[in-house]
Amino acid sequence: MVTIKLTNSKTHRKEVFEPLDPRHVRMYVCGPTVYDRAHLGNARPVVVFDVLYRLLRHVYGAEAVTYVRNFTDVDDKINAKAAETGRAIRDITDETIGWYHDDMDALGALRPNHEPRATEFIGAMIAMIEGLVAKGHAYAAEGHVLFRVRSYADYGALSGRSVDDMIAGARVEVAPFKEDPMDFVLWKPSEAGVPGWESPWGYGRPGWHIECSAMAYELLGESFDIHGGGLDLQFPHHENEIAQSACAHDHGSFAQVWLHNEMLLVEGKKMSKSLGNFFTVRDLLAQGYPGEVIRFVLLSTHYRKPMDWTAEKAREAERHLQLFWSMTAQVAAGAVDQRVIDALSDDLNTAQALSVLHQLYTEGDATTLAATMDFLGFVGGDRAYWVEEDKAVRARLEPYAEALAQAREQAMQTKDFSNVDALKVMLISAGAEVRMSKGSVEVLPTPDFDPVKLEALK
């Protein structure tokens, strides 16, 4: 059995992953609030945890792994969009979920086993809140129900801060009906025209944090193996999930392992609309970036490090994929390279896994490369596209091969090989491979070939 090691955000240590039940490995990942297109930052956890899902299926068997990722379809942002557009909320959420599926499918992400919508689990949320109130961990006030944070002694363990430190260092909503500034909303009243459900505390809707706790419990049980999401969710969302779940279920420990991916930058800067560097996955696809390219760039940086999207990285990714697909387009897949399994088993070292693809290409092992690319999720695109792109690149290099052959023929007569050497240096500097035999001259692209550099060196 392969040994998987993961860095647990709760313990801050890399630990051997030991599922509660190897016959049923369970993972929950926080999904999107469905009111608009998913941006590139939203896509990073999808791709990261898709790779983990693939690894778990490989190690434990596809039937032994349950992956849950939710849709938050009740939220003030959704209500605001409905009010602004005059459209029905369900129409907006259905459309947005469709967009999300299309975009994540384009990135090669497998669909989770379950994709629960929050509105389908309102009854479970109300039941959990009732239990928390009965145990003294929550209280009703002015149509709201709030979680009593200080009733849970371990609050703050995930983020590593005490409650008093959080109050001192954070902007906390202080409502007059709160017993403590850190207490958070489990249920809130809904005014006319806003979605709501009848409850013991009046007509209202759930707070954000209770949604994931209720859905995780219903689909995975009191205790499960892995909970994942972006680092921005660690506090307060995940901290609150732990508190309310641990208090609701006396015998459960909620998630055993917590994994958080770091944030995304664009050309070295935080992505924001004010900087003009904010874009959705659909924007990139519309600009002509294939989904495989986006996936390759996202996986080129370890999930626990900030990921910087750059146009140069995208160009490099496309060049690599052109060569890989060209080699594998006409072959049957063999076995997944064990070096990739080993890399991913070491805290999801996706950058190392991608480097194995380069090695397989260099080794000329097309069948293993094909299987390994499939395993890593590079399966959804049009392979013919990549073959044609590779042919186009090779066609651009043909004149240089001819020029090099002519220079060598002239050098054989003059015994002056300076022009030959200069051409070779130029081509190699641009990432091309020069093969010269007695009867032929070939100039081939490598994964590092950059036609922009070639033009600049002319």
pLDDT digits 0-9 by tens, 28-55: 999 999 999 999 999 999 999 999 999 9
Predicted confidence (pLDDT) per residue in 324-368, tens digit:
988 998 889 999 999 999 999 999 999 999 999 999 999 999 999
CATH number at residue 324: 1.10.730.10
Which domain range does residue 439 map to? 394-457
For residue 268, the number of C-alpha atoms closer than 13 Å in the C-beta half-sphere is 1
Mean pLDDT (the chain) is 92
Question: Does residue 11 fall inside a structural domain?
Answer: no
Q: What percent of the chain has pLDDT over 90?
A: 74
pLDDT at 31: 97
Least confident of 5-9, 108-112, 356-360, 435-439: 435-439
pLDDT at 303: 98
Question: Does residue 8 fall inside a structural domain?
Answer: no
Contact partners, residue 46, CB within 8 Å, separation at least 6: 38, 69, 104, 107, 109
What number is the average pLDDT over the span 192-203?
A: 94
Q: Indicate whether 302 pLDDT > 90.
A: yes
pTM of the shown model: 0.89
Q: Indicate whether 155 pLDDT > 80.
A: yes
pLDDT bucket at 173, cuts 50 / 70 / 90: low
pLDDT bucket at 237, cuts 50 / 70 / 90: very high
Omega before 206 cis (within 30°)? no
- Do residues 23 and 272 touch, judged by C-beta distance below 8 A? no
Residues 299 and 434 in one domain: no
**Total residue count of the chain as it appears in this document:** 458
Q: Indicate whether 241 pLDDT > 90.
A: yes
Residues 222 and 169 in one domain: yes
Q: What is the CA radius of gyration of the chain?
A: 27
Local structure of residue 150 (DSSP, 8 states): G
Residues 186 and 299 in one domain: no
Q: Which of 343, 375, 407 is the last residue of a domain?
A: 375
CA dihedral of 247, 251, 256, 260, whole degrees rounded to 10: -20
What number is the average pLDDT over the span 81-93?
A: 95
pLDDT at 246: 96
Least confident of 196-205, 369-378, 381-390: 381-390
Least confident of 23-32, 64-73, 421-430: 421-430
pLDDT at 439: 78
Predicted confidence (pLDDT) per residue in 122-133, tens digit:
999 999 999 999
Instruction: Tell me how far apart the alpha carbons of residues 420 and 241 are, in angstroms, rounded to a whole number.
Output: 66
Residues 114 and 192 in one domain: yes
Question: Does residue 34 fall inside a structural domain?
Answer: yes
Omega before 22 cis (within 30°)? no
pLDDT at 169: 47
Residues 305 and 212 in one domain: no
Q: Helix %, strand %, coil % for the chain, to 5? A: 50, 15, 35
Predicted confidence (pLDDT) per residue in 278-297, tens digit:
999 999 999 999 999 999 99
Question: Does residue 448 fall inside a structural domain?
Answer: yes
Q: Indicate whether 312 pLDDT > 90.
A: yes
Residues 249 and 154 in one domain: yes
Least confident of 58-72, 97-111, 159-173: 159-173
pLDDT bucket at 379, cuts 50 / 70 / 90: confident
Q: Which of 347, 375, 403 is the last residue of a domain?
A: 375
Residues 277 and 250 in one domain: no
Q: Which residue has the higher pLDDT, 426 or 381?
A: 426
Residues 107 and 168 in one domain: yes
Q: Indicate whether 174 pLDDT > 50.
A: yes
Q: Indicate whether 168 pLDDT > 90.
A: no
Question: What's the total number of domains in the chain?
Answer: 3
Residues 177 and 311 in one domain: no
Residues 245 and 98 in one domain: yes
Nearest residue to 146 (alpha-carbon basis) of 115, 177, 104 = 177
pLDDT at 330: 82
Question: Does residue 5 fall inside a structural domain?
Answer: no
Residues 315 and 412 in one domain: no
Q: Which of 375, 402, 434 is the last residue of a domain?
A: 375
CATH number at residue 60: 3.40.50.620
Question: Does residue 99 fall inside a structural domain?
Answer: yes
Question: Does residue 313 fall inside a structural domain?
Answer: yes
Q: Indicate whether 163 pLDDT > 70.
A: yes
Predicted confidence (pLDDT) per residue in 128-154, tens digit:
999 999 999 999 999 999 999 999 999
Q: Indicate whether 398 pLDDT > 70.
A: yes
Q: Indicate whether 273 pLDDT > 90.
A: no
Residues 97 and 246 in one domain: yes
Nearest residue to 96 (alpha-carbon basis) of 124, 114, 110, 75 = 75
